[in-house]
Amino acid sequence: MNINIPCPHCGPRPIQEFMYGEIPSVPDEITDPDARDLDRAFMRTNPEGVQLEAWFHTYGCRRWVRIHRDTRTDEIVERG
């Protein structure tokens, strides 16, 4: 499946040109610094349904694009 992200500056572009951006939240009960770094680096929320996402156009205009995407179908519902 190929997903095209609608970049407002470059037009619809393949998802391979973008980098997904998420800043994971780390639970407060984790106090070990190494465990906090592990959670921050690798644990993603992986929500189901329509989500607001930020994508960085790495191989294009080098700007952030915000979209609403349904994670069940990968359909882009609207541009954020």
Domains of the chain, start order? 4-79 (3.30.2270.10)
CA 10, chain centre distance (Å):
19
Residue 16 in 3-state DSSP? helix
Q: Residue 48 is encoded by which pair of tokens?
A: 């189901």
Q: For the chain, 80 residues long, give each residue's pLDDT as a single digit of tens.
A: 588 999 999 999 999 999 987 766 777 777 788 877 777 777 777 789 998 899 999 999 999 999 999 989 989 987 65
Query: 3-state DSSP: the chain helix, strand, coil percent, rounded to 5?
Result: 15, 40, 45
Largest CA distance in the chain: 44
Residue 25: DSSP 8-state: P
